[in-house]
């Protein structure tokens, strides 16, 4: 069971260039940190995928071990863990998040 979950996580990370694991959804976040992180991502103006870990308790249980990152939200860009809310907000304030997201989104467009 556990292995299936890890496979699913790997698949989600591989298939989505910009992926946010969060509590709730960007429109209806269930925690302040997820809310801040998704707001910052949305204001970058590119499409991103998200997984609501409250609806996926198996992912909620396994992802921290897989990512070696204990908390949510988690932002993954191009298969790499960027970090959680603090890192996302810090990067956003410096303008680094916008660049990272735009580059990742541009790669998706060029692949399609």
Enumerate the domain spans of the chain. 2-102
Is 86 a known ligand-binding residue?
A: yes
Overall CATH class of domain 2-102: alpha beta
Give the span between the Cα atoms of 106 and 104, in whole angstroms: 5
Is 23 a known ligand-binding residue?
A: yes
> Could you give the C-alpha distances from 85 to 40, 43, 110, in angstroms and in order?
10, 15, 29
Is 33 a known ligand-binding residue?
A: no
pLDDT digits (tens, 9 = 90+) for 30-75: 999 999 999 999 999 999 999 999 999 999 999 999 999 999 999 9
Biggest CA pair distance of the chain: 41
Is 8 a known ligand-binding residue?
A: no
Q: Can you give the pTM of this predicted structure?
A: 0.95
Is 72 a known ligand-binding residue?
A: yes
């Amino acid at each position: 069971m556990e292995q299936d979950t890890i496979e699913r996580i790997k698949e989600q990370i591989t298939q989505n260039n910009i992926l946010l694991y969060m509590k709730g959804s960007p429109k209806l976040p269930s925690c302040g940190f997820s809310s801040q992180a998704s707001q910052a991502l949305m204001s970058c103006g590119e499409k991103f995928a998200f997984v609501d870990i409250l609806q996926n308790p198996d992912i909620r249980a396994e992802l921290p071990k897989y990512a070696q990152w204990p908390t949510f939200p988690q932002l993954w860009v191009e298969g790499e863990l960027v970090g959680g809310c603090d890192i996302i907000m810090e990067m956003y304030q410096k303008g680094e998040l916008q660049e990272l997201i735009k580059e990742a989104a541009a790669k998706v467009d060029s692949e399609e």
